[in-house]
Amino acid sequence: MYDVINPGIFPTTEDDANSLVTSAAYAPFRSNWYSGLYASSQGGIHVISDMTTDIGYCQWNDVVWPDMLQVNFTAKSFGVTDTYKNYIRDISKMTLTMDRIAGIQMKQETKDRLNAELRCGRGWLAYILYDMYGPIQIASLEMLKNPTSDEVAPRVSKEEMVKFIEDDLTAATALPATYKTSDTNYGRFTRGLAYTVLMKLYMHEQNWAKAVECGRELMKPEYGYELMDNYKDIFTLENEGNSEAIWSCICSRSVNQQMWLAHVLSSEYPTKNPAIQKWGGYRVMWNFYHTFDAKDKRLEVLIGDFIGEDGVHYNEQNPGSVLIEGAMPVKYGEDPDATGEESQIDWIVYRYADVLTLLSEAIVRQGNAVTQEAVDLLNKVHTRAGLTAYATADFASPAAFLDAVLMERGHELWFEGTRRTDLIRYGKYIEYARKYKNSVTAQDYMNVMPLPQAVINESKGKIAQNPGY
């Protein structure tokens, strides 16, 4: 009876607790058609992130794209403000759920796992919002238990924000290291995920020593992470749950289907499955495409030159309407059962190549010296792409090595949502917007995005907008 459910009658059992935690902790982290933080559409944070950088472009003219592509952020910009508006409430949902399952009788082991999953989800979501918007509003449990109050949850300080995220993710390291695809818990949060997000937090805060600790932790045998031999095999249906994937949004034929290829492929591009929908929107800009070595195997799924089903040879010199703004970021394999825009291939959110390249960067930043270990870590990813290994002597300075890491991460992780954060950490985000997007609106304060104007209005002056907006 949906009109009378209340905390007095739900949740009361272990099954109730499992259902409530699944809803509260996991709902934001989906790639489900147009819903979820990792949706393939304009609301996906990996889409928002890369579209504001030198990597991404969209060939459509929907109202959401101009501000995003030109780094023309305002408090009323669609897309860049939506993540805050749509997901800030989930922080509170997870806080309330912790309280609501506290008194339920169940195995302590189960309760501990559910609480650790909630802490992982809350800390992870808080990090995502912090990275995009700076310190956010965090409501206390007392405030949440008094929903009729007019009190407005404040934005916390930077120090409080970092501690909140760190405490939650540290608590989440009590989770199992990882799950195999054969495990019924595959798809749930893991210790590997918690340490990965912690590492990203420490990189964001330039706490290189702690970032190195997290990276070394994730290299331990208990996690079982390894690079796949071939880049293009990472993102295929037959290799779901592979050893490189740290955490993925689970997609299936019946639930949570992602739509990446529909957003990327143009109708002229040949596919084995003719029933796949092709809308031809997303592109990797030509300037960035030209930074790849011609021998780089990652170009096998970044298509800048192909013979179309219409017999036309498409490339930068003969783009037609297909490759006007850049190459097609195909990346994911085909779903042979797809009959439209949907795909059942799990969307990979974090993977081991991301960790290895971040660790190589953190080691050099920490010691201000290029070490053999850092070069070896970078080479694991670099040589997998079919490129000649770097030698320590190739780098005249730590800065030269860091530039190589930034380039490698760009070539490896396009449209995986890392580029914006990487460029900000390197102090190049606004510079690149002006240089490669020809943005005349990008300002230095746009390293963080604006809060939605509605949040400012509803707070009646209690919530301050980010500086500059």
What pLDDT, in 10s, does the model give residues 235-248?
A: 999 999 999 999 99
pTM score, two decimals?
A: 0.97
What pLDDT, in 10s, does the model give residues 13-37?
A: 999 999 999 999 999 999 999 999 9
Answer for the pair 257, 33: CB distance below 8 angstroms, yes or no. Answer: yes
Architecture of domain 14-207+450-458: Alpha Horseshoe (1.25)
Residue in 83, 170, 173 with CA at minimum distance from that of residue 129:
83
Q: Which pLDDT score, from 0 to 100, does residue 8 have?
A: 80
Q: Which pLDDT score, from 0 to 100, does residue 229 have?
A: 98
Answer for the pair 268, 374: CB distance below 8 angstroms, yes or no. Answer: no
CA-CA distances (angstroms) from residue 324 to 263, 285, 440, 465? 15, 9, 22, 37
- Ranges of the chain whose pLDDT falls below 70: 1-2
Q: Residue 377: exposed, middle, or buried by beta-carbon count in 10 A (0-12, 13-18, 19+)? A: buried
Distance of alpha carbon 331 from alpha carbon 31, whole angstroms: 16
